């Protein structure tokens, strides 16, 4: 009986982990979409806000470029995309 329950428990734990990771990705995508929309809207409404946003974005890009990781490169690309599309 014990041998049959172990794979079942492992399978359920794996399914929970996958569900949690998927939920985190969905939450991350939603937050990113909201941030991009907010950035673009703010930049479209005010030339001063657009200037400040570009300045802030460049500071973040400069800071992140010192960190040579895939995550920092991905973040830089996301920042550039949000700023360039505004």
Model pLDDT for residues 30-84, shown as the tens digit of each residue: 777 778 888 888 888 888 888 888 898 899 889 988 988 888 888 888 888 877 7
Please name the residues in contact with 28: beta carbons below 8 A apart, sequence gap of 6 or more: none
Cα-based distances in Å from 52 to 9, 55, 56, 57: 53, 5, 6, 8
Kindly list the domain boundaries of the chain, sorted by start residue.
2-84
For residue 5, give both structure tokens.
């329950």
For residue 38, the model assigns a pLDDT of: 82
Indicate the pTM of the whole model.
0.55
pLDDT for residue 1: 45
Dist CA 86 CA 79 (whole Å): 11
Asked whether 53 and 86 are in contact (CB, 8 A), the reply is yes
Residues 6-24: what's their mean pLDDT?
Answer: 74
Report residue 17's pLDDT band, with 50, 70 and 90 as the boundaries.
Answer: confident
């Amino acid at each position: 009986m014990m041998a049959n329950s172990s794979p079942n428990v492992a399978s359920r734990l794996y399914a929970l982990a996958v569900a949690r990771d998927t939920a985190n990705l969905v939450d991350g995508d939603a937050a990113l979409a909201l941030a991009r929309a907010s950035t673009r809207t703010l930049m479209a409404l005010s030339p001063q806000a657009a200037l400040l946003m570009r300045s802030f974005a460049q500071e973040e890009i400069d800071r992140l470029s010192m960190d040579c990781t895939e995550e920092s490169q991905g973040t830089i690309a996301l920042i550039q995309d949000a700023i360039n599309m505004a």
